[in-house]
C-alpha cells in the first residue's frame, strides 16, 4: 500500500485480532509510570491468577465468538516477574480459547535485571517469540533518575541474552530527560541502534499526573526540555533512526521495515483486541458496532470479581459511529502509513472539513496518498494531537 516508503507489514484492510494480557505487578514503581502496576511484598499466588486469566478468557470468548488470533502481547506491570510455567499456562489458555495459528507474534515485556533474564529460556520454551525490554537509558545516572532497578551492565547482558534466545527483540528508551542535549542523545541512540535487532521504542519523557514525577516536577525539583528542545530531540531521533535503516513507523516506534510489532499495529489500525487481566482494555467488533471493555484495575479486586462471576469487566461501552471514527483517526494518524479515509468517512458519515484539511495541507502537516489515504508528514507528526483535533471536527 505504501510503496515508496518501504516494505512495512502491509495494511491488508484486516487489522487483525490481538490478545492483550496484563500482569499488574512490579518489583518497584518507577516514578514516571502511570500504568496499572502494583508492588506486593507477599509472593503473588500465580496459579490462582492463571486460573482467573483462563476464566476471563472464556468470558471474552463469549463476546468475540470464534476468532483467529494474529498476535499476543503480555504486558504490565512486569510480566518478566511471572514464572515461565505461568506464561505457558496462560498461552495454552489462549490456544484453547481462540484459534491460534503457529508462528504468530507473541511478545512479553521484560525488565533487563539479571534475575528476570534467567527466565528468558523458560519463556521461549513456553512459546514467547519476541521480548520487549524496558531498558530506558544507556547510562547509570539516568537509569537512577528514572528509578530503574537495573544498571547499564545488566541491561547489556539482558539484551545479549534476549538476542540469543528470542527470534525477535525490541527495547524501550526514554529520552528528553532533564538537561539532555541533542548530542548526548544522538550518541546514546546510535549505541542503542547498534544493540538493537530490528525494533526500538523511543518515548519522550512525559510527566503524568498521579506519578511521583508529577509532584517533583511541579515543585521545580527538575525541569524537562521545553517545546523547542523536545522538538529538536524528536527530529534528531527521526533523522538518526531513518539513517540507520530503522525509520519510525509510528510516533515513537521504529523498525526495520517488515519488523514492526504486529500486535501494536492492530491497535493503531484500530483492529479488535481482547483485554484480559486487571486494568486491561479491549475493543470487540459486533457487526458495525464496537464494544469498549475495561476491567477492574486492582489485582485482588479483579481476582475476586473473576472468581465470583467469571470476569473482571467493570466497563462495557457500546461505541457509537462518531466515537469509533474518533478512535480510528487518533490511533491511525500515529502511523507513518496514515489512515484509510474511506473507513473514517464510513464511520463518521462525513468528509473532513475541507477548509481545515486544506489549511493542514497548505502548511505541509498532512498529505494525501492515493485516493483515500491520509497521513501526517514528519512536521505534522510533531503536532499530531492538534492535527487530529482539527481533522476530527
Partner 1 sequence: MSTDSTRIPLDHIRNFSIVAHIDHGKSTLADRLIQTCGGLEAREMSEQVLDNMDIEKERGITIKAQTVRLKYKANNGEDYILNLIDTPGHVDFTYEVSRSLSACEGSLLVVDASQGVEAQTLANVYQAIDNNHEIVTVLNKVDLPAAEPDRVKEQIEEVIGIDASEAVLISAKTGLGIPDVLEAIVHKLPAPKSEKGADAPLKALLVDSWYDTYLGVIVLVRILDGVLRKGMTIRMMGTDAKYGVERVGVITPKMVNVEELGPGEIGFITASIKEVADTRVGDTITEDKRPTDKALPGFKPAQPVVFCGLFPVDAADFEDLRAAMGKLRLNDASFSFEMESSAALGFGFRCGFLGLLHLEIIQERLEREFNLDLVATAPSVVYKIRMTDGTERELHNPADMPDVVKIDEIHEPWIKATIMTPDDYLGSILKLCQDRRGIQTDLSYVGARAMVSYELPLNEVVFDFYDRLKSISKGYASFDYNLADYREGDLVKLNILVNGDPVDALSILVHRSAADRRGRAMCEKLKELIPPHMFQIPIQAAIGGKVIARETVRALRKDVTAKCYGGDATRKRKLLEKQKEGKKRMRQFGKVEIPQEAFIAALKMEEN
The only residue of 96, 114, 206, 289 in contact with partner 1, by rule CB under 8 A = 206
Burial of 42 (0-12, 13-18, 19+ CB in 10 A): exposed
Can you tell me the distance from the alpha carbon of 155 to that of 170, in angstroms, rounded to the nearest whole number?
A: 12
Over the window 147 to 186, marking each residue x when it contacts partner 1 by CB under 8 A and - when it does not, the resulting string is ----------------------------------------
The CA distance from 176 to 258, in Å, is 28
CB closer to partner 1 out of 46 and 264: 264
The pair phi, psi for residue 181, each rounded to 5°, is -95, 160
Rule CB under 8 A: is residue 350 a binding residue for partner 1?
A: no
Residues 6+ apart with CB under 8 A from 217: 207, 223, 224
Among 16, 77, 282, 338, binds partner 1 (CB under 8 A): 282
Tell me the three-class secondary structure of 339-387, residue by residue: EEHHHHHHHHCCCCCHHHHHHHHHCCCEEEECCCEEEECHHHHHCHHHH
Out of 262, 334, 343, 375, the residue judged to bind partner 1 by CB under 8 A:
334
Contact status: 385 vs partner 1 (CB under 8 A) = yes
Taking alpha carbons only, the member of 111, 120, 199, 107 closest to residue 165 is: 120
Element (H, E) at 97: helix 84-97
Q: How far is the CB of 359 from partner 1 (least distance, A)?
A: 6
- Residue 276 in contact with partner 1, rule: CB under 8 A: no
Supply angle C-alpha 377, 383, 213, rounded to 5: 135
CB of 382 to partner 1, least distance (A): 5
State yes or no: residue 38 binds partner 1 (CB under 8 A).
no
- Between 63 and 294, whose beta carbon lies closer to partner 1? 294
Is residue 373 within 8 Å of 332, Cβ to Cβ?
Answer: no
Distance separating alpha carbons of residues 367 and 358, to the nearest angstrom: 10
The secondary structure of residue 80, as a DSSP letter, is: G
Compare residues 2 and 382 and give the one whose CB is closer to partner 1.
Answer: 382
CB of residue 15 to partner 1, shortest distance in Å = 12
Least CB distance from residue 215 to partner 1, whole Å?
Answer: 20
Work out how close the CB of 85 gets to partner 1 at its nearest, in angstroms, rounded to a whole number: 26
Q: Which of 203, 244, 304, 310 binds partner 1 (CB under 8 A)?
A: 203
Give which of 98, 100, 66, 73 is closest to 87, Cα–Cα: 73
Could you say which residues in the range 211-270 bind partner 1, by CB under 8 A? 227-228, 230-231, 234, 251-252, 264, 267
User: Least distance (Å) from partner 1 to the CB of residue 273?
Assistant: 5
Give the nearest distance from C-beta 91 to partner 1 in angstroms.
19
Minimum distance, C-beta of residue 241 to partner 1, in the bound complex (Å): 15
For binding to partner 1 (CB under 8 A), which residues are involved? 18, 20, 203-206, 227-228, 230-231, 234, 251-252, 264, 267, 273, 275, 279-283, 292, 294, 317, 323, 326-327, 330-331, 334, 359-360, 363, 365, 381-390, 392-393
Amino acid at each position: 500500500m505504501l510503496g515508496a516508503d518501504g516494505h512495512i507489514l502491509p495494511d491488508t484492510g484486516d487489522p487483525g485480532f490481538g490478545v492483550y494480557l496484563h500482569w499488574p505487578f512490579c518489583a518497584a514503581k518507577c516514578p514516571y509510570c502511570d500504568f496499572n502496576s502494583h508492588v506486593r511484598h507477599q509472593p503473588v499466588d500465580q496459579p490462582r491468577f492463571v486460573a482467573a486469566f483462563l476464566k476471563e478468557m472464556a468470558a471474552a470468548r463469549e463476546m468475540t465468538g470464534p476468532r483467529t488470533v494474529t498476535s499476543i502481547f503480555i504486558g504490565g506491570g512486569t510480566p518478566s516477574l511471572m514464572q515461565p510455567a505461568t506464561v505457558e499456562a496462560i498461552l495454552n489458555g489462549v490456544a484453547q480459547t481462540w484459534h491460534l495459528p503457529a508462528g504468530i507474534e507473541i511478545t512479553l515485556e521484560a525488565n533487563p535485571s539479571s534475575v528476570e533474564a534467567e527466565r528468558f529460556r523458560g519463556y521461549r520454551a513456553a512459546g514467547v517469540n519476541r521480548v520487549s525490554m524496558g531498558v530506558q537509558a544507556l547510562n547509570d545516572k539516568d537509569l537512577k533518575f528514572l528509578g530503574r532497578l537495573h544498571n547499564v551492565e545488566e541491561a547489556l547482558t539482558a539484551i545479549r541474552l534476549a538476542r540469543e534466545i528470542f527470534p525477535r527483540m525490541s527495547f524501550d528508551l526514554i529520552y528528553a530527560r532533564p538537561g539532555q542535549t541533542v548530542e548526548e542523545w544522538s550518541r546514546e541512540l546510535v549505541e542503542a541502534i547498534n544493540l538493537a535487532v530490528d525494533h526500538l521504542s523511543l518515548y519522550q519523557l512525559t510527566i503524568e499526573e498521579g506519578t511521583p514525577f508529577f509532584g517533583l516536577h511541579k515543585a521545580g525539583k527538575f525541569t524537562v526540555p521545553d517545546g523547542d528542545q523536545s522538538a529538536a530531540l524528536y527530529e534528531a531521533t527521526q533523522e538518526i533512526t531513518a539513517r540507520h535503516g530503522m525509520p519510525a513507523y509510528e510516533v515513537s516506534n521504529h523498525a526495520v521495515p517488515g519488523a514492526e510489532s504486529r500486535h501494536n499495529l492492530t491497535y493503531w489500525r484500530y483492529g479488535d483486541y481482547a483485554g484480559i487481566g486487571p486494568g486491561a482494555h479491549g475493543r470487540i467488533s459486533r457487526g458495525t458496532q464496537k464494544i469498549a471493555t475495561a476491567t477492574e484495575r486492582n489485582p485482588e479486586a479483579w481476582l475476586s470479581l473473576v472468581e465470583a462471576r467469571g470476569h473482571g469487566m467493570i466497563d462495557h461501552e457500546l461505541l457509537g459511529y462518531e466515537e469509533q471514527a474518533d478512535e480510528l483517526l487518533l490511533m491511525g494518524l500515529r502511523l507513518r502509513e496514515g489512515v484509510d479515509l474511506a473507513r473514517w468517512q464510513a464511520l463518521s458519515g462525513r468528509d473532513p472539513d475541507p477548509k481545515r484539511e486544506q489549511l493542514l495541507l497548505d502548511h505541509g502537516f498532512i498529505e494525501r496518498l492515493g485516493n483515500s489515504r491520509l497521513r501526517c508528514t514528519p512536521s505534522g507528526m510533531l503536532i499530531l494531537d492538534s492535527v487530529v483535533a482539527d481533522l476530527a471536527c
